[in-house]
Amino acid sequence: MCHAHRNLIGWSMLSPLAYHRKYSYGGGMLLFPTQFHMFNSLLLALVILLMSLLPRETVAEWYKDERAIMGTRIAVEFWDEDHHHAEQCAVRVFNEMHRIDALMSPYKPDSELSHINQQAAKGAIQISEEMFNLLKKSLSMSELSNGAFDITFSSVGYLYNYREGIKPTEEEIQQSLPNIDYHHVVLNEKTRSVRFTQPGVRIDLGGIAKGYAVDNGIAILVSCGIKGGLVTAGGDSRILGDRGNRPWMMGIRHPRKKDAVAVMLPLSNTAISTSGDYERFFIEDGKRYHHIISPRTGKSVTSTWSATVIGPDATTTDALSTTLFVLGPEAGLRLIESLSGIDAVIIDAHGQMYYSSGLAPPAAEAAQTGAGSPK
Ligand code: ADP
Ligand code: MG
For residue 207, report the distance from its CA to the centre of ligand 2, in Å. 4
Ligand at shortest distance from the CA of 149? 1
Average pLDDT value for the chain: 87
Q: What is the pLDDT of residue 10?
A: 28
Q: Are strands 261-267 and 29-30 parallel, antiparallel or unpaired?
A: parallel
Average pLDDT rounded to a whole number, residues 244-253: 92
Residue 1: pLDDT band (50, 70, 90) is very low
Listed residues: CB within 5 A of ion ligand 2: 207, 275, 318, 321-322
Residue 279: pLDDT band (50, 70, 90) is confident
CB 233 within 8 A of CB 70: yes
Tell me if the domain spanning 61-337 has CATH number 3.10.520.10.
Answer: yes
Q: What is the pLDDT of residue 52?
A: 64
What is the best residue among 202, 322, 324, 346 to mutate for testing ligand 1's pocket, by most ligand atoms within 8 Å of CB? 322
DSSP string, 103-132: HH-SSSTTSHHHHHHHHTTTS-EE--HHHH
Q: How far apart are CA 245 and CA 46, in angstroms?
A: 14
Q: What is the pLDDT of residue 365?
A: 52
Q: How far apart are CA 251 and CA 269, in angstroms?
A: 16
Q: How far apart are CA 301 and CA 347, in angstroms?
A: 13
Q: What is the pLDDT of residue 264?
A: 94
Average pLDDT rounded to a whole number, residues 23-34: 74
What is the best residue among 152, 177, 292 to mutate for testing ligand 1's pocket, by most ligand atoms within 8 Å of CB? 292
Per-residue pLDDT at 19 exceeds 50: no
Residue 159: pLDDT band (50, 70, 90) is very high
CB 134 within 8 A of CB 205: yes
Q: How far apart are CA 56 and CA 218, in angstroms?
A: 26
Provide the 3-class DSSP secondary structure of residue 331.
Answer: helix
Selection from 270, 276, 356, 264 nearest residue 322 by Cα:
276
Q: What is the pLDDT of residue 23?
A: 60
Q: What is the pLDDT of residue 361?
A: 83
Residue type, 342: I
Treating both helix axes as pointing N-terminal to C-terminal, what angle do 209-223 and 314-337 enclose, rounded to 10 degrees?
A: 120
Residue 244: pLDDT band (50, 70, 90) is confident
For residue 208, report the distance from its CA to the centre of ligand 2, in Å. 6
Residue 242: pLDDT band (50, 70, 90) is very high
Residue type, 37: H
Selection from 45, 13, 43 nearest residue 29 by Cα:
13
Predicted TM-score (pTM) of the model is: 0.87
- Of 1 and 163, more confident: 163
Residue 25: pLDDT band (50, 70, 90) is low
Selection from 148, 133, 181 nearest residue 336 by Cα:
148
Residues with Cβ within 8 Å of residue 102, at least 6 apart in sequence = 108, 111
pLDDT digits (tens, 9 = 90+) for 254-265: 999 988 999 999
Task: Enumerate residues lining ligand 1, CB below 6 A.
Answer: 149-151, 153, 204, 206-207, 210, 234-236, 275, 279, 291-293, 295, 318, 321-322, 326
Q: What is the pLDDT of residue 146?
A: 97
CB 216 within 8 A of CB 100: yes
Ligand at shortest distance from the CA of 233? 1
Q: How far apart are CA 152 and CA 204, in angstroms?
A: 7
* CA 126 to chain CA mean position, Å: 30
Per-residue pLDDT at 101 exceeds 60: yes
| 346 φ, ψ (degrees, to nearest 5) | -120, 135
Q: What is the pLDDT of residue 35?
A: 64
CB 263 within 8 A of CB 31: yes
Within the chain, residue ranges assigned H as helices are 2-9, 41-53, 83-104, 112-119, 129-144, 154-157, 170-176, 209-223, 314-337, 362-368
CB 288 within 8 A of CB 162: no
The set of long-range contacts for 367-370, using a CB threshold of 8 Å and a minimum separation of 24, is: 367/18, 367/19
Residues with Cβ within 8 Å of residue 325, at least 6 apart in sequence = 275, 276, 277, 292, 301, 304, 306, 307, 332
Q: What is the pLDDT of residue 61?
A: 80
Domain residue spans in the chain?
Answer: 1-56+357-375, 61-337
